[in-house]
Amino acid sequence: MQTKVLSAAVLALALLAANGASAAEGFRAQAKLLTPVAAPTTTVVSNVEWKCDGDACQGVSKYAPGLDSFMKQCRKVRAALGPLAAYSSRGVKMSDADVANCNAGPR
């Protein structure tokens, strides 16, 4: 019985350490623009600094930007940077259908 309790405690500590490490990494996202920018630009969207060069944009922040849904994040980026060809955030890539929905949605 003590072994099970000890194992559960070790597992809980490992999960807490993993969550702390991912929080320390902050927020990263990528977007591909339908229309490339003429010159490198920097834009802040919901406390995330987006740097674009050509059609490639990278969003970086020390902190996660609120509790917005994946689609809401995409729509905020699209409103600030223009129509998107692709979007990914926190390692998850948006499907082509969802990117089309993002582009068609309200600003």
**52-69: per-residue pLDDT in tens?**
999 999 999 998 766 678
What is the percent of the chain where pLDDT is above 90?
60
* Residues 36, 81: Cα–Cα separation, whole Å: 10
Over range 92-107, report the average pLDDT.
91
Q: Taking the complete model, does pTM exceed 0.85, yes or no?
A: no
Domain boundaries, the chain: 26-104
Q: Phi then psi for 41, rounded to 5 degrees?
A: -135, 160
Q: Which of 5-14, 39-48, 91-100 has the lowest mean pLDDT?
A: 5-14
pLDDT of 36 above 50: yes
pLDDT, position 29: 95
